[in-house]
Chains A and B, each alone.
Chain A
């Protein structure tokens, strides 16, 4: 049995992943035509490359259908319940950085922290008859974060894209989204809450705890980890 390594199938995330493995003596590349989702891993025996959408890699790791996978740490935390029981972080890869944050309209001069958001939510609900809406696609992470902070009287509304526009469009009062530079937030007249950082995400190499760890796959993992250790 070969070790299955899942990596993102396109874009900058894929290129950077290939570069990262390359710098560690592993020749990870796509093979075949530009459009064919096939790839190879050179430099280590017994490893198969599986090209996947980055968003599907957490699911495949959780199901144990791939042994290792590269994806954003935010996606693993969002999509795998009790993720530390299911996967292990082998290496933070130092790219794909993005922060999951909570942002509110800049004109809310009275709101700087989560406690302000909570107070504003209570008053908003009394005034408008519905809970204060926060647009996000990170339902689990945001809910757990707000619960721990004791924020009440809010509701999450699903937003799979253009989340920063929801406030202006009156479909949400606040947003919880990924940002790297904050430019999109500023352009949409939003500001970060000073204690609203939910998770600092980056591309991460994960090991599935439920994948079949046989003598061969274990040996391949050892060889990979040696390469990672040598670089560090």
Chain B
């Protein structure tokens, strides 16, 4: 039987109680959030996933699609140091295509820890608190680390602009792959670009631009000239070695028990030492988790976990799933989002890790209602 809304609310309160016991402060962000912030973070794509409404005076608003963004905003605006917060309430998700098991509004109960002192300890703590809250359900846990891919990108033999472009699209696997193919010479430049580069070699950029007619729009001639210069520089750059692309492919394909995954990653790092700091953090995280009593052998480490769904998570990521029911969303998920504090921090940043549980799904699974 599906739990009633009162039961789900009570379960959200019970879970929040566990986080209060962990020393978190209860917060209650507004349901109506300024749309600008979310649009600037996630781009137009979020319009497909969040409800947009218009206030005559305050402009476009969104029904909160999650709690993390307003909690980060609140914390960064207050300018405090270490803190931990918990929330329990509904989030709202627009759906353009009906998906079974996905609700338009549902409860979340969450924990967010802002702490620079010991990041791996904070990560292990969040994971352990979630694991123990969910222990009776016998869920499958998966984890990953977005920081591995970003470290690998920084270790490529490539110019800063190429690395920046790859980092910017790390969340979009297809686009990322297209860029990597281009930069490694696997795919040639398109004919129009090749023709433009030929012209640039013999003709000043200013003349090429002047020949096209009037200059219109906000994008200034200097910006166009700057990109032309970048295109010429890019064309002159040697391709990223095929061996390095293979290392990225190998890294993203890793899916194994954490200890085995770490061993394979260490092998990759022999040829890509830029991975070492991220691997040291991963190793320490695993040690701390083990010390907290986590059975690492029962976990799966997926190097590409969360890559498409958890934008702005930039380190440790995790999720808990009901086994044998792939149509269900994760019962809980979370991770490290230092990048989000940087974007919303207006010049400041703060290491932060957290996650949320779906109390409705917890109840359904506990009563066998989510078959």
CB within 8 Å of A: which B163-195 residues: 165, 168-169, 172, 174-175, 178, 190, 192-193
Q: Are B214 and A189 in contact (CB under 8 A)?
A: yes
A160 close to B (CB within 8 Å): no
Q: A113-B190, A119-B165, A173-B218 are in contact. Are A150 and B172 (CB under 8 A)?
A: yes
Q: In the bound complex, what is the Cα–Cα distance between A167 and B213 (angstroms)?
A: 15
B57 close to A (CB within 8 Å): no
Q: Are A155 and B39 in contact (CB under 8 A)?
A: yes
Tell me, rounded to whole Å, the shortest Cβ–Cβ distance linking A2 to chain B: 31
A82 close to B (CB within 8 Å): yes
Cβ-closest chain B residue relative to A143: B44
Q: Place the interface of chain B in its size category.
A: 35 or more
User: How many pairs of residues, A versus B, come closer than 8 Å at their CB atoms?
Assistant: 103
Q: Which of B140-148, B220-228, B260-268, B347-355 contacts A (4 or more CB under 8 A)?
A: B220-228
B45 close to A (CB within 8 Å): yes
A18 close to B (CB within 8 Å): no
Tell me, rounded to whole Å, the shortest Cβ–Cβ distance linking B186 to chain A: 15
Q: Are A107 and B98 in contact (CB under 8 A)?
A: no
Bits for B12-50, please: 1 = Cβ < 8 Å to A, else 0. Answer: 000000000000000000000000000110011101100
Cβ-closest chain A residue relative to B165: A119
Q: Are A143 and B209 in contact (CB under 8 A)?
A: no
Q: A112-B193, A152-B168 are in contact. Are A189 and B213 (CB under 8 A)?
A: yes
**Residue numbers in A under 8 Å from B165 (CB-CB):** 119, 122
Q: Are A152 and B228 in contact (CB under 8 A)?
A: no
**Residue numbers in A under 8 Å from B48 (CB-CB):** 143-144, 147
CB within 8 Å of B: which A99-144 residues: 105-110, 112-113, 115-116, 118-120, 122-124, 127-128, 131-132, 139-140, 143-144
Q: Are A143 and B219 in contact (CB under 8 A)?
A: no
Cβ-closest chain B residue relative to A122: B168
**Residue numbers in B under 8 Å from A110 (CB-CB):** 196, 224, 227-228, 231
A154 close to B (CB within 8 Å): yes
A156 close to B (CB within 8 Å): yes
Q: A107-B224, A113-B190, A123-B226 are in contact. Are A131 and B40 (CB under 8 A)?
A: yes
Q: In the bound complex, what is the Cα–Cα distance between A112 and B228 (angstroms)?
A: 12
**Residue numbers in A under 8 Å from B192 (CB-CB):** 112-113, 194
Q: A131-B40, A154-B44, A168-B217 are in contact. Are A107 and B97 (CB under 8 A)?
A: no
Q: In the bound complex, what is the Cα–Cα distance between A122 and B224 (angstroms)?
A: 13
Q: Are B219 and A112 in contact (CB under 8 A)?
A: no
Chain A interface helix/strand/loop/mixed:
mixed
CB within 8 Å of A: which B197-219 residues: 208-209, 212-219
Q: In the bound complex, what is the Cα–Cα distance between A128 and B223 (angstroms)?
A: 11
Tell me, rounded to whole Å, the shortest Cβ–Cβ distance linking B200 to chain A: 9
Tell me, rounded to whole Å, the shortest Cβ–Cβ distance linking B40 to chain A: 7
Q: Are A127 and B174 in contact (CB under 8 A)?
A: no
Tell me, rounded to whole Å, the shortest Cβ–Cβ distance linking B253 to chain A: 21
Tell me, rounded to whole Å, the shortest Cβ–Cβ distance linking A129 to chain B: 10
Q: In the bound complex, what is the Cα–Cα distance between A113 and B169 (angstroms)?
A: 17
**Residue numbers in A under 8 Å from B172 (CB-CB):** 150, 152
Q: In the bound complex, what is the Cα–Cα distance between A108 and B219 (angstroms)?
A: 9
Q: A109-B208, A110-B196 are in contact. Are A143 and B223 (CB under 8 A)?
A: no
Cβ-closest chain A residue relative to B42: A152
**Residue numbers in A under 8 Å from B118 (CB-CB):** none
Q: Are B178 and A115 in contact (CB under 8 A)?
A: yes
Tell me, rounded to whole Å, the shortest Cβ–Cβ distance linking A164 to chain B: 11
**Residue numbers in B under 8 Å from A112 (CB-CB):** 190, 192-193, 196
Q: Are B96 and A189 in contact (CB under 8 A)?
A: no
Q: In the bound complex, what is the Cα–Cα distance between A110 and B212 (angstroms)?
A: 11
Partner of A82, one of B45, B97, B218: B97
Q: In the bound complex, what is the Cα–Cα distance between A12 and B172 (angstroms)?
A: 44
Cβ-closest chain B residue relative to A195: B190
**Residue numbers in B under 8 Å from A127 (CB-CB):** 223
**Residue numbers in B under 8 Å from A146 (CB-CB):** 44
Q: Which of A107, A119, A122, A139 has the most CB of B within 10 A?
A: A107
**Residue numbers in B under 8 Å from A149 (CB-CB):** 175
Q: Are A107 and B196 in contact (CB under 8 A)?
A: no
A161 close to B (CB within 8 Å): no
**Residue numbers in B under 8 Å from A182 (CB-CB):** none
Q: In the bound complex, what is the Cα–Cα distance between A115 and B44 (angstroms)?
A: 17
Q: Are A82 and B213 in contact (CB under 8 A)?
A: no
Cβ-closest chain B residue relative to A112: B192
Q: A106-B212, A115-B178, A131-B43 are in contact. Are A173 and B193 (CB under 8 A)?
A: no
Q: Are B45 and A147 in contact (CB under 8 A)?
A: yes
Which residues in A have some Cβ–Cβ distance to B below 8 Å? Answer: 81-82, 105-110, 112-113, 115-116, 118-120, 122-124, 127-128, 131-132, 139-140, 143-144, 146-147, 149-150, 152-156, 167-168, 170, 173, 189, 194
Contact sample, A vs B, 29 pairs, CB 8 Å cutoff: A81-B97, A82-B96, A82-B97, A106-B213, A107-B209, A107-B212, A107-B216, A107-B221, A108-B224, A109-B212, A110-B228, A110-B231, A119-B165, A120-B219, A120-B223, A123-B226, A123-B227, A124-B223, A128-B218, A131-B43, A143-B45, A149-B175, A155-B39, A167-B216, A168-B217, A170-B217, A173-B219, A194-B190, A194-B192
Q: Using A106-B212, A107-B217, A149-B175 as known contacts, list a sample of 18 further A-B pairs with CB atoms less than 8 Å apart, ordered by residue number in A.
A: A81-B97, A82-B98, A105-B215, A107-B215, A107-B216, A107-B221, A108-B219, A109-B224, A112-B196, A118-B175, A122-B168, A123-B227, A124-B219, A152-B172, A154-B44, A155-B39, A170-B218, A173-B217
